[in-house]
Amino acid sequence: MPDTPPIEFAFPDLRKWEKGAAPYIHVLESGKPGPTVMVASLTHGNEVSGAIVVDALLGAQVKPRKGTLILSFNNIEAYHSFDPRTPFKSRLVDEDFNRVWGRLDQPATTVETRRAQVLKPFVERADLLLDLHSMHDDCVPLMLSGPLDKGVAFAKAIGTPVDIVRDAGHAAGMRMRDYGGFGDPESPKNALLIETGQHWRASSVVVAKDVTARFLVETGVVEESDLPAGWRQPTPATQRVVEVTHAIATKRGNFTAAQRFQGQDVIAKAGTVLGHDDDEPVTTPYDDCVLVMPSSSRPLRPGVTVVRLGRLT
Ligand SMILES: [Zn+2]
């Protein structure tokens, strides 16, 4: 990492939202029948664009017209550990909050598993979930729909961003967006995860507001006029679905990229060298291979995914 990317906005003071149905979790009831809809932020503590959006929804006292709206700041402890000298560290405290959802039946021994136990009844209650994330590197926004048809259909109903990534998550552990009914093709529950862009870009806040407004209106719990003005952005002409087929992990943390990739680059020819891992070439397995969230600059640990490869469908 040559240097830390600029931080283009002020971080909100969230302590005023501590008191809720549980700490930093707010449940807004309409009193009328309807879906339970959840917007979650700070699943990773340094992914601040989502926190700005949830802070703004609470500040504007947005109320659901039907059903229930749940708003959360997930890894608030990691957020409060933010230090501008080491801004990437506040992603988590003990472990990744978004990899613990397959083992919540085990004793909670970390900040993140304890917090997940607090969030669990709210996540279980939600029929529809939007989880707001952002990215380490400057990449175009991506909607992570999960592996199921219903996730892709929901992402298309939202209508933005251009890229929908259909993926099965991470070998390291289950994500919140795949938990319970969200990961069950037979369940009507549905979840989306938006990667809004680089963590501290002003443009990531624009994307987070746009996607959240579209999500809330699509679920029917609010109308657009209930939301702060100016959140909706123009709808892109088309969207495309990228199906993730491979996750390339570095064996010992010695991966070097052949060039700097932007993310969502389409590599025309099969066999193109993407980089070397311990001097072993890593090549594209098929023509028109999409590079999903390549890590151009993060320090690598053994076993970490350096890029995921996808096929346009
Ligand atoms: Zn994240």
Q: Cα of 75 to ligand 1 centre, how many Å? A: 11
Asked whether residue 215 falls in the same domain as residue 150, the answer is yes
Strand positions, DSSP E, the chain: 25-29, 36-41, 68-73, 128-135, 142-144, 163-166, 190-198, 240-249, 255-257, 266-267, 273-277, 280-283, 289-292, 305-312
Asked whether residue 128 falls in the same domain as residue 167, the answer is yes
**96: its two tokens:** 């990744």
**152: its two tokens:** 């892709």
Q: Cα of 271 to ligand 1 centre, how many Å? A: 30
Q: Cα of 274 to ligand 1 centre, how many Å? A: 24
Asked whether residue 177 falls in the same domain as residue 272, the answer is no
Asked whether residue 25 falls in the same domain as residue 133, the answer is yes
Q: Cα of 43 to ligand 1 centre, how many Å? A: 6
Which of 191, 226, 261 is the last residue in one of the domains?
Answer: 226
Question: Is residue 208 pLDDT above 60, yes or no?
Answer: yes
Q: What is the pLDDT of residues 236-257, one digit of tens each?
A: 999 999 999 999 989 998 999 9
Give the C-alpha separation, 63 to 224, whole Å.
12
Which pLDDT belongs to residue 34?
A: 98
Asked whether residue 208 falls in the same domain as residue 102, the answer is yes
Q: What is the pLDDT of residues 40-53, one digit of tens each?
A: 999 999 999 999 99
Asked whether residue 222 falls in the same domain as residue 267, the answer is no
Which pLDDT belongs to residue 168?
A: 87
Asked whether residue 222 falls in the same domain as residue 254, the answer is no
Look at residue 102 and tell me if it is in a domain. Answer: yes
Give the C-alpha separation, 152 to 148, whole Å.
7
Whichever domain contains 253, its CATH number is 2.40.50.100
Question: Is residue 296 pLDDT above 80, yes or no?
Answer: no
Pairing type for strands 280-283 and 289-292 reads: unpaired
Whichever domain contains 110, its CATH number is 3.40.630.10
Q: Cα of 193 to ligand 1 centre, how many Å? A: 9
Which of 200, 226, 252 is the last residue in one of the domains?
Answer: 226
Q: What is the pLDDT of residues 71-108, one digit of tens each?
A: 999 999 999 999 988 899 999 999 999 999 999 999 99
Asked whether residue 111 falls in the same domain as residue 260, the answer is no
Question: Is residue 2 pLDDT above 60, yes or no?
Answer: no
Q: What is the pLDDT of residues 271-283, one digit of tens each?
A: 999 999 999 999 9
How many domains, the chain?
2
Q: Cα of 109 to ligand 1 centre, how many Å? A: 21
The winner for highest mean pLDDT among 80-89, 179-188, 302-311 is 179-188
All residues with CB under 5 Å from ion ligand 1: 44, 47, 133
Q: Cα of 252 to ligand 1 centre, how many Å? A: 23
Give the C-alpha separation, 156 to 27, whole Å.
27
With vertex at residue 51, the alpha carbon angle to CA 138 and CA 13, rounded to the nearest 5 degrees, is 120
Confidence of residue 3 (pLDDT cuts 50, 70, 90): low
